[in-house]
Amino acid sequence: MIYLHIPFCESFCTYCGFFSVCVPPALPVPEPVEGVEGFDAFADAVIAEIAARRDEIAATSAVNTLYIGGGTPSVLPLEVLSRIVTAIDWSPEGAEGEFTIEVNPEDIVEKGEEYVKGLMSLGVNRFSMGVQSFDDGILRWMNRRHDSARAIEAFRILRQCGAGNISLDLIFGLSQLDDSTWADTIDKTLALGPEHISAYQLSVEEDSALERMIQRGKYVEASDEQCRRQYDLLCEKLGAAGYRHYEISNFALPGREAIHNSAYWKRVPYVGLGPGAHSLSATSVRSWNAQEIPRRLRDGRLATYSREEEILTPEDIRIERIMLPLRTDIGMPEEELRSLAGDEPVDRLLSENALVRFSRPLRSLSPSKGTNRYIRIPESRFFVSDEIIRELI
């Protein structure tokens, strides 16, 4: 299970706080500094990291996924991506082989079918596209590079190239986003028929343009009531369309749940490659790469990113074992939850219907021979899941 972080964007979205640097649209590489070779230096650094962590990568093969995120991975030339993917030596094996890449609609439209087919030739079998909205005014406020028409065209190109597993990202909870506009965005998303939809409430990320706007009094956040209405509308419309609400922010047609992201919620070990990426080992060591862009110095040496780590405490692990599975519609075994959280909060939240019991067939037994009793947060309480989980930890 591998995550690769691509820290390049052609512009910064209003709300984004992820680590990235801006690549001028007119240039194929970032602005040169001390002999920087741009994307090639980045690829050299990642390939060196892959070689140094080969044993660690092999140890995470229980879940066979590769996820390339960012930033904006689709700003990278195909040949640069090819170098890195070849070094990773990822190959799909059986139904569990999932290779996702995040793409920007504008990149797909500008680079066209040849680029998409090139990505698929590398093994990409799942595309995650950041649409965010089908309202052009909202998109301009977000500082997105595409408009609604280009998003629809990008989706058409992906389908034309044979992409059979597409996820679309949406954002709700903007103070200027009225309910009817949000409903229209949901309807237009459903009309395209993606296999997966991720929808996130607008949040104020540290060091984002949005944070600065709020500090200067140029933006007022949406009320909790507005955000709740829009989340409920999302759940209602996607449920009626046949999507399984399998995690707080994620919906999928049956069998199209994201394998990679689902593994995170099970605390499966993973390797994060590239500047800013995080990793988790089987021994509960969390590590992270520094947010430093690799570059070639004038003497030819490669200046790259460093890596730090910490050992998670038993309390850290306990919190994660409660928090992560309760974000999903499966939840966790009741016996395990009680052992981690204690009987009193579990019984109290069950009596308040903030938690519910259900029986899940044991995989090793037929449903007629036995079931496991599980506890989950009902969909009607997903919006306040953070408060419920706090009661348990």
| Residues 100 and 28 both lie in one domain | yes
pLDDT of 186 reads 98
Q: Are residues 356 and 225 in the same domain?
A: no
Phi, psi of 238 (to 5 degrees): -70, -35
Residues 259 and 136 in one domain: yes
Tell me, what CATH number does 75's domain have? 3.20.20.70
- pLDDT at residue 34 in the model: 37
Residue 381 placed within a domain: yes
Specify the pLDDT at position 138.
94
295 found inside a domain? no
Task: Reply yes or no on whether the pLDDT at 35 is more than 80.
Answer: no
Nearest to 385 by CA among 283, 300, 265, 287: 265
Question: What's the CATH code of the domain at 364?
Answer: 1.10.10
Task: Read off the pTM.
Answer: 0.90
Instruction: Give residue 368's pLDDT.
Output: 44
* 200 and 332 share one domain: no
Q: Are strands 166-172 and 196-201 parallel, antiparallel or unpaired?
A: parallel
Q: Is the pLDDT of residue 259 over 80?
A: yes
pLDDT at position 188: 98
Task: Tell whether 99 and 168 lie within a shared domain.
Answer: yes
Residues 247 and 365 in one domain: no
Among residues 264, 295, 328, the one where a domain terminates is 264
Peptide bond into 71 cis (omega under 30): yes
Tell me the percentage of the chain whose pLDDT exceeds 70. 92
Asked if residue 38 and residue 127 are part of one domain, the reply reads yes
* Domain assignment present for 336: yes
State the pLDDT at residue 26: 41
Q: Kindly state whether residues 40 and 103 are assigned to the same domain.
A: yes
Which pLDDT tens digit goes with each residue over 274-298? 999 999 998 999 999 999 998 888 8
Mean pLDDT (whole number) for 346-361 = 92
Q: Are 355 and 391 in contact (CB under 8 A)?
A: no
- 175-206 pLDDT, tens digit per residue, is 999 999 999 999 999 999 999 999 999 888 78
End-to-end CA distance of the chain: 28
In tens, the pLDDT along 51-105 reads 999 999 988 877 789 999 988 999 999 999 999 999 998 877 655 689 999 999 9
Domain that includes residue 124, residue range: 2-264
Residues 335 and 196 grouped into a single domain: no
What token pair was written down for 293? 């862009």
Three-state SS for 171?
A: strand
Q: Which residues of 166-176 are buried (b: 16+ CB within 10 A; e: fewer)?
A: bbbbbbbbbee
For 298, counting Cβ atoms within 10 Å of its Cβ (0-12 exposed, 13-18 middle, 19+ buried), the class is: exposed
Residue partners of 110: CB distance under 8 A and separation at least 6: none
In this structure, the answer to whether residues 72 and 218 fall within a common structural domain is yes
Q: Amino acid letter at 49?
A: E
Nearest to 309 by CA among 279, 339, 265: 279
Extract the runs of DSSP E, i.e. beta strands, from the chain: 2-6, 8-9, 21-22, 65-70, 98-103, 126-132, 166-172, 196-201, 244-247, 250-252, 271-273, 278-280, 285-289, 295-296, 302-303, 307-311, 332-333, 356-361, 371-376
